[in-house]
Structure 1
Amino acid sequence: MIDMRNLETFYAVAQSGGFHRAAEKLHTTQPAVSARIVQLEQQLKGRLFERDKRGCFLTAKGRALLGYAERMMALRTEMVEAIAGGSALSGVVQLGASDTIVHTWLSDLLKGLNREYPDVTLEVNVDTTAALTAGLVDGSIDVALLMGPISTSSAENLPLCSYAISWVVSSDFPLPDKPTLADIVQYPIITFARSTKPYWQLKGLFDEAHLSNVRIFANSSLSSIVKMALDQIGVAAIPKHVVAEQLASGRLRLLQTGHDMPTMSFTASYFRRPDMPLNPIVAELAQKIARVFEV
């Protein structure tokens, strides 16, 4: 009888392209992965993988097995959901999130997942969109809440929310509520990291206004950007949703220049995989929660 754990291990190696990466994905050791593959090869009387310096690759027998493994894992998930309900699903989900999501509604998503799927363990990775996209592709991240959509073949992208960039300053910052762009650039502009889309969109805004002497303080930490705004280092260019609490308390205020501001659009991106039935569930719940926070 074929052990489902061995099939899961086989699928993980096939998807990741290596025994070490499969071991990391399965939270086990490389020797354990190798032992399961050997057992499976003995049962099926043939090699499933060939290895070289570039990694490991499916043999003809391995490619034939892959389709059966996918169907068996999908059927098992279907059986569990049909008999025990979705709350019976368990496992570890590597969830990637952009800093903006962390500062708006990620906590509500984690609470919802914990309530509806109590046997699911979440590991949260906060990073840039570029890093999260790379993580999706190499399999180290299962679901990513990022500025999307991503164009990688076969990726699923569920729209989440769109946040316009706002000008944010401390309550007693020396600028009127409706300054010009020329007024704003007299001070440092504190915004997202140079590698992000908002940074270059803001730079384009200043270029179109023929404002060349702009000091943009790029920062990869939203918490740091907010702190710098509170400390009157300069004018923050971030979504107002991130600082809703500080705006409500009067510690920060918004500036209006009358210009159309860049918009950050987010998606829940993932790959459909028979060994990860929670991917679409997490993405769909994220979509539901994000809509509440978009207003």
Structure 2
Amino acid sequence: MMTFKQLEAIYWVAQLGGFSQAAQKLHTTQPAVSKRVRELEDAFGTPLFDRTMRSARLTEKGEEMFAIAKDLLGRRAQAIEGFVQAAAPQRQLRIGVTELTALTWLPRFVNAVHARFPATSFEPDVDDSFGLRNKLLAGNLDIAILPDLFEDSRLVKHTLGKVRNTWMCKPGLLPTQHPLNVHDIAEQRVLTQGGRSATGQIYDEWFRAAGIGTGNWIVSNNLMAIIGMTVSGLGVAHLPQFALQPLIDLGMLEVLDVAPPVPDVVFAAVHKAENHSVVMDQLVEIATRCCDFGRAFQGA
């Protein structure tokens, strides 16, 4: 009479407060979520949500069904985890990451995956965004943590979090008495990872929106090299502020007030759609829990 898809629908609509939010969580459409809820309501002959409210509000019977859904979904998750633990083969996990992930939370992720799947060994591959996407599509990676810049029906994306980058330079290199604009930045030597990186692609578009093309730029595919060149006073760079806060506190880097801001970078866990499995769901869940771009060199 009930299916897990229907139970997931009512659970996430109630948890997230809306049908569209639940659809996004379940990687489906809002009509599909509405249909599953309606099927449950028709099966039991009672409304589960009060549709006169602006947000999805459970009825009294809906509260009872939500409790049932929560219990059954929890039992299913426990059963799946027990099965995965027992059945997970000894294997090598090929994970692709950008340099920023490697410099921040990759050790925590590796440690958490090893705790869940002790027989797993790791083969990290650090590359730029385009390189990681191509390796995923070629079947050379199992999963990748990369900026959410690509739309490809062959790939499944799970949003993890955002990275806020800001323009920085060596203290004293630029006047900071007043806010700067895109033209002020363009007049400087810009240190960049180039168009194959997410940050490079995003602020390429930021410059183009102001009618500014490539100027006095130094391009490097190595984030640590760019940080080092910025600290030395060679130019300005668009860098992750929170991860580099210790260098800012030490007076080695200075944050520039630049308007308009460059958009944040959204990161996602990405894998091929054909590789979806219970184990992959577990890896995505671990990545979601471990994702933290706020500190560099995090311990495992």
- Asked whether the two chains share a fold, i.e. TM above 0.5, the reply is yes
Alignment partner of 1:114 is 2:114: yes
Determine the structure 1 residue equivalent to 2:156: 156
Determine the structure 2 residue equivalent to 1:283: 284
Matched-pair identity in %? 19
Determine the structure 1 residue equivalent to 2:141: 141
Distance 1:224 1:271, change over 3 A: same
Equivalent pair of 2:84/2:279 in contact (CA under 8 Å): no
Which stretch of the first structure deviates more once superposed, 150-159 or 97-106?
150-159
Q: Please give the residue correspondences for 1:195-210 in structure 2 after superposition, counting only pairs within 5 Å.
A: 195-210=196-211
Normalised by the length of structure 1, the TM-score is 0.63
Equivalent pair of 2:243/2:293 in contact (CA under 8 Å): no
Q: Please give the residue correspondences for 1:19-30 in structure 2 after superposition, counting only pairs within 5 Å.
A: none
CA distance in structure 2 between the aligned counterparts of 1:124 and 1:197, rounded to whole angstroms: 19
Q: CA deviation at 1:79?
A: 9.3
Q: Please give the residue correspondences for 1:1-295 in structure 2 after superposition, counting only pairs within 5 Å.
A: 81-82=81-82, 85=85, 90-148=90-148, 150-176=150-176, 178-181=178-181, 182-211=183-212, 214-271=215-272, 277-290=278-291, 292-293=292-293
Kindly tell me the number of residue pairs found equivalent between the two proteins: 217
Equivalent pair of 1:86/1:117 in contact (CA under 8 Å): no
Normalised by the length of structure 2, the TM-score is 0.62
CA distance in structure 2 between the aligned counterparts of 1:149 and 1:211, rounded to whole angstroms: 22
Moved over 6 A (4+): none
Q: CA deviation at 1:109?
A: 1.2
CA distance in structure 1 between the aligned counterparts of 2:156 and 2:201, rounded to whole angstroms: 26
Q: CA deviation at 1:118?
A: 2.2
Consecutive unaligned residues in structure 2, runs of 5 or more: 1-77, 296-300
CA distance in structure 1 between the aligned counterparts of 2:231 and 2:210, rounded to whole angstroms: 27
CA distance in structure 1 between the aligned counterparts of 2:131 and 2:175, rounded to whole angstroms: 36
CA distance in structure 1 between the aligned counterparts of 2:141 and 2:273, rounded to whole angstroms: 13
Structure 1 counterpart of 2:264, which letter? Answer: T
Consecutive unaligned residues in structure 1, runs of 5 or more: 1-77
Find the residue that maps to 1:241 and give its secondary structure.
coil
Q: CA deviation at 1:107?
A: 2.0
Find the residue that maps to 1:144 and give its secondary structure.
strand
CA distance in structure 2 between the aligned counterparts of 1:221 and 1:87, rounded to whole angstroms: 39
Equivalent pair of 2:92/2:120 in contact (CA under 8 Å): yes
Equivalent pair of 1:113/1:282 in contact (CA under 8 Å): yes
Q: CA deviation at 1:189?
A: 0.9
CA distance in structure 1 between the aligned counterparts of 2:122 and 2:269, rounded to whole angstroms: 16
Q: CA deviation at 1:125?
A: 0.3
Equivalent pair of 1:97/1:127 in contact (CA under 8 Å): yes
